[in-house]
Structure 1
Amino acid sequence: MQEKQVMVVGLDDSAHSFYALEWTLDHFFTPPQNGLFKLIVVHAKTAPSTVIATPMAFGTADIIPLVDADLKRVAQRVVDKAKEVCEKKSVPDVEVEVMEGDARNVMCEAVEKFHASVLVLGSHGYGAFKRAVLGSVSDYCSHHANSTVMIVKQPKTTATSPK
């Protein structure tokens, strides 16, 4: 029997990434396709020292444990929600990992660690300016990940005007 290929889905706590997870489950993990890939969901937990610009200035070292606790709560919320979404979609065989670091590097490292053939990311839909200022995880991964990178965009909702 041939070993399944690995698909990594990168999640943050945004609606965009959870849309990408649901889209992936609907398109790759519903019968009869559910036997094609092993699913690994990865959340990149930011290191507390990167959240606080100058960790040792002005007594901010006391804040690091509080920031870390908050980041851990967010990570746990993402993990719990990911498991819940997978369970709702009847995809019980999923591995959920939290890896610490910058999301761009974490996703590329996850591809290597799990020997993934596909990396799935949600698109936040940033314009060129925001992407240049904030950086784009999906853009970075599309150039640096050693796998196919699939970027899932949410459909634009059309606002209907009241009559």
Structure 2
Amino acid sequence: MEEGRRVGVAVDFSPCSKKALSWAVDNLIREKDHLILITVRPEGNYEEGEMQLWEATGSPLIPLSEFSDPVVMKKYGVQPDPEALDIVTTASRQKEVVVLMKIYWGDARDKITEAIENIPLSCLVIGNRGLGGIKRAIMGSVSNYVVNHARCPVTVVKSPEHH
């Protein structure tokens, strides 16, 4: 990954994460950058050898050609959203961006901050689910945690319905 920046976008394929992905592509990504989608799956029962290896370090960096393939992604337990795939495929083609995905298993707060250091990322874009004060106090805000613990610039993209 010699050329350009490594721009991470945390995605769970929810409307707010797709908004963050769109925002990153429209406002941040430049030609020759690496766009790295970071997705975190809940911990589960890993019986397959590969999955046990990836539990601690996350999956290898998966190129766009592979994470566009539903058969390949089934082994990771991830089903990318067609809209998100369209966004990154267009960015790859129009801006000559290298698009990769890295999948982690566990707590999103911890794994996203790990990804920032381990990849390492130049910056991160993350969506905000817009939890109310009570829900945020109980569940905690992933974006708030990442902003306060990241070792790179973080942009939080709010969904329009949460303004």
TM-score normalized by the length of structure 2: 0.70
Counterpart contact for 2:10–2:37, Cα < 8 Å:
yes
Aligned to 2:51: none
* Conservation of the 8 A alpha-carbon contact between 2:13 and 2:81: no
Match for 2:42 among 42, 46, 49? 46
- Partner of 2:8 in structure 1? 8
Q: Which runs of 5+ in 2 are unaligned?
A: 46-73
- CA change 1:142–1:157 in 2 (3 A) is closer
Q: Is the Cα contact below 8 Å between 1:116 and 1:147 reproduced in 2?
A: yes
Shift of 1:83: 3.1
Structure 1 unpaired stretches of 5+: 50-71, 159-163
How far apart are residue 99 of structure 1 and its match? 1.0
TM-superposed deviation, 1:88: 3.3
Look at both structures and tell me which one has the larger radius of gyration over its CA atoms.
1
Post-superposition CA distance 1:70-122 (Å, at most 9, x none) = xx689521376543321134355200111111100110011011111211100
Q: Is the 8 A contact 1:11 1:78 kept in 2?
A: no
Is 1:17 equivalent to 2:13 in the alignment? no
In structure 2, the partner of 1:104 is 109
Q: Does 1:143 align with 2:148?
A: yes
**CA distance in structure 1 between the aligned counterparts of 2:5 and 2:108, rounded to whole angstroms:** 23
Amino-acid identity (%) = 31
Moved over 4 A (4+): 72-75
Letter paired with 1:34: E
TM-score (norm 1): 0.70
RMSD value, Cα: 2.6
